[in-house]
């Protein structure tokens, strides 16, 4: 019998080799190949979201009608989230934002956005995960800990697997380097090549490496000797195919990417080096790509009739902080747990709609909650992997829940 593989949407690695095995005797389904995080995701949330209007149980039709009323009555609603939504749902959300003069933003606004933007604008060279598996001989994990955030990253793509040009695998054919402020689990695996830097010293260290590559003696204000930096620069420049996986530690410490652009430029004069964001939510990049295709921006957009505006003032943080919005539609996200409390608390003052498979802190204060199917588990869809490759997501199990794309379509129709 031909084996059927599914895709795990537990993180933006979108592992495509997941098998479901029915164990008839025990009457259960075993999930093969997924990591512990993926299994937990596929088994679904402990507390499914209920369909409610004003905290009372409601039918999906009534909840959709009320959501449409809220968005119709709002002057400038905020649409936020979508990192865990299918491409089709994201498309619908952008359409809805245009129709309702909304601000639209996603989590990339306060995480990997600058890197995705630089890749889409071609100011940073990136590559695919398959290229990493087949070609990469120098891999740098900078400010990230994939052993915990993307548990199959090292085994499936970056370090351990054999690739077309890396037949001897990690022991002889690949060098993995960790640059971080703490000795993470990934740093323990790459112990011989762990460079500990102080918090907020990323830009300084990037600058020192760039100096080392241009033949100068690199100096830093923390206790790392020039010899150590020169040795690292030497490993990087001798790579045949190198990649830096950039985590939140790097992004938060270095919001201005220009030092990294300079380092990559210096490296690419000598070798072939790439940067890839360690995207968390499985389809954050999908939203960025779709919005970029339509507006030239990846997030923080305001639609006002035919006009499109963009800027930091339209980020979810600023829109809520400055109380610029009079209603919110939150899709597959939990701003009450991810944004500063004083800012997210402003959601309590405006009508809020939540579409999500699971209960969240935000759903508990929402006026309307609509349960959605988990894409890739309870419904099918498409998504864009952390490396920009589009992946088809199959349905794993039957569900009577609506897909988020269908919920948004019905809200649009009711407006
Ligand atoms: Fe799922 Fe991510 Fe684990 Fe792969 S690494 S199985 S995509 S959670």
DSSP string, 196-247: E--TT-HHHHHHHHHHHHTTS----SSS--HHHHHHHHHHHHT-SSEEEEE-
Do the domain assignments include residue 189? yes
Q: Do 327 and 395 reside in the same domain of the chain? A: yes
The SS3 assignment for 375 reads strand
Specify the ligand 1 atom closest to the Cα of 150: 5
Do the domain assignments include residue 123? yes
Q: Do 329 and 269 reside in the same domain of the chain? A: no
Residue finishing a domain among 261, 277, 293: 277
Q: Do 394 and 317 reside in the same domain of the chain? A: yes
Q: Ligand 1 pocket, 38 CB below 6 A?
A: yes
Q: Do 104 and 151 reside in the same domain of the chain? A: no
Q: Ligand 1 pocket, 14 CB below 6 A?
A: yes
Residue finishing a domain among 228, 250, 277: 277
Q: Which of 145, 61, 20 is nearest to 411 (CA)?
A: 61
Q: Do 268 and 323 reside in the same domain of the chain? A: no
Q: Do 356 and 223 reside in the same domain of the chain? A: no
Q: Do 238 and 309 reside in the same domain of the chain? A: no
pLDDT of residue 1: 65
Specify the ligand 1 atom closest to the Cα of 10: 8
Do the domain assignments include residue 34? no
Question: What is the CATH number for 238?
Answer: 3.40.228.10
Question: What is the CATH number for 369?
Answer: 3.40.50.740
Q: How far apart are CA 82 and CA 106, in angstroms?
A: 7
C-alpha Rg value of the chain to the nearest Å: 22
Mind listing the pLDDT tens digit of every residue in the chain (415 residues)? 678 899 999 999 999 999 998 877 777 888 889 999 999 999 878 899 999 999 999 999 999 999 999 999 999 999 999 999 999 999 999 999 999 999 999 999 999 999 999 999 999 999 999 999 999 999 999 999 999 999 999 999 999 888 888 887 766 889 999 999 999 999 999 988 999 999 999 999 999 999 999 999 999 999 999 999 999 999 999 999 999 999 999 999 998 999 999 999 999 999 999 999 999 999 999 999 999 999 999 999 999 877 899 999 999 999 999 999 999 999 999 999 999 999 999 999 999 999 999 999 999 999 999 999 999 999 999 999 999 999 999 999 999 999 999 999 999 999 9
Q: Ligand 1 pocket, 6 CB below 6 A?
A: no
Do the domain assignments include residue 349? yes
Q: Ligand 1 pocket, 35 CB below 6 A?
A: yes
Q: Ligand 1 pocket, 156 CB below 6 A?
A: no
pLDDT of residue 164: 85
- Asked if residues 245 and 141 have their Cβ atoms less than 8 Å apart, the reply is yes
Do the domain assignments include residue 15? no
Which DSSP letter does residue 313 get? G
Which residues contact residue 234 at a Cβ distance below 8 angstroms, ignoring those fewer than 6 apart?
A: none
Taking the CA atoms of residue 297, residue 303, residue 305 and residue 308 in that order, the dihedral angle to the nearest 10 degrees is -30
Q: Do 188 and 82 reside in the same domain of the chain? A: no
Residue 189 Cα to ligand 1 midpoint, Å, equals 19
Which residues contact residue 172 at a Cβ distance below 8 angstroms, ignoring those fewer than 6 apart?
A: none
Q: Which of 399, 345, 329, 322 is nearest to 85 (CA)?
A: 329
* Side-chain half-sphere exposure of 203, counting CA atoms within 13 A: 10
Looking at ligand 1, which residue's alpha carbon is closest to its atom 1? 38
Q: Ligand 1 pocket, 377 CB below 6 A?
A: no
Q: Which two tokens stand for residue 335?
A: 């701003």
Q: Do 124 and 83 reside in the same domain of the chain? A: no
Residue finishing a domain among 277, 299, 319: 277
Specify the ligand 1 atom closest to the Cα of 7: 7
Structural domain boundaries enclosing 259? 113-277
Secondary structure tally for the chain: helices H, strands E: 19, 18
Q: Do 50 and 127 reside in the same domain of the chain? A: no
Q: Which two tokens stand for residue 48?
A: 């499914």
The number of domains in the chain is 2
Residue 156 Cα to ligand 1 midpoint, Å, equals 10
Do the domain assignments include residue 250? yes
Q: Ligand 1 pocket, 150 CB below 6 A?
A: yes
Q: Model-level pTM?
A: 0.95
Do the domain assignments include residue 367? yes
Q: Do 140 and 259 reside in the same domain of the chain? A: yes
Q: Which of 290, 348, 308, 363 is nearest to 85 (CA)?
A: 290
Q: Do 105 and 130 reside in the same domain of the chain? A: no
Do the domain assignments include residue 40? no
């Amino acid at each position: 019998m031909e084996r059927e593989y599914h895709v795990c949407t537990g993180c933006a690695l979108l592992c495509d080799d997941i098998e479901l095995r029915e164990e008839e005797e025990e009457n259960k389904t075993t999930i093969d190949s997924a990591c512990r995080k993926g299994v937990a995701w596929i088994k679904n949330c402990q507390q499914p979201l209920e369909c409610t209007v004003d905290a009372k149980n409601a039918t999906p039709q009534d909840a959709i009608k009320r959501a449409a009323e809220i968005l119709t009555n709002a002057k400038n609603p905020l649409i936020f989230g979508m990192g865990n939504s299918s491409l089709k749902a994201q498309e619908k959300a952008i359409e809805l934002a245009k129709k309702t003069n909304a601000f639209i933003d996603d989590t990339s606004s306060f995480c990997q956005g600058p890197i995705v933007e630089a890749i889409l604008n071609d100011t940073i060279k990136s590559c695919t995960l398959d290229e990493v598996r087949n070609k990469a001989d120098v891999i740098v994990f900078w400010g990230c800990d994939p052993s915990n955030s993307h548990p199959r990253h090292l085994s499936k793509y970056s370090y351990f697997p054999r690739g077309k040009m890396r037949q001897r695998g990690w022991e002889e054919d690949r060098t993995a380097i960790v640059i971080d402020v703490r000795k993470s689990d990934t740093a323990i695996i790459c112990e011989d090549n762990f460079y500990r830097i102080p918090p907020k010293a990323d830009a300084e260290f990037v600058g020192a490496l760039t100096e080392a590559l241009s033949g100068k003696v690199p100096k830093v204000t923390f206790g790392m000797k020039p010899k150590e930096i020169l040795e690292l620069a030497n490993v990087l420049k001798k790579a045949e195919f190198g990649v830096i996986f950039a985590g939140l530690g790097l992004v938060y410490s270095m919001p201005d990417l220009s030092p990294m652009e300079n380092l990559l430029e210096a490296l690419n004069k000598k070798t072939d080096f790439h940067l890839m964001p360690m995207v968390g939510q499985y389809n954050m990049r999908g939203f960025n790509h779709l919005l970029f295709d339509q507006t030239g921006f990846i997030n923080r957009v305001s639609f006002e009739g035919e006009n499109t505006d963009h800027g930091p003032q339209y980020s979810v943080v600023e829109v809520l902080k400055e109380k610029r919005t009079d209603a919110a539609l939150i899709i597959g996200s939990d701003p009450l747990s991810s944004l500063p409390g004083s800012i997210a608390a402003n959601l309590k003052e405006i009508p809020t709609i939540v579409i999500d498979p699971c209960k969240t802190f935000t759903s508990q204060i929402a006026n309307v909650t609509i349960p959605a199917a988990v894409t890739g588990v309870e419904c099918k869809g498409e998504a864009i992997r952390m490396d920009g490759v589009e992946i088809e997501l199959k349905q794993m199990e039957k569900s009577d829940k609506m897909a988020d794309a269908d919920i948004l379509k019905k809200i649009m129709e009711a407006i």
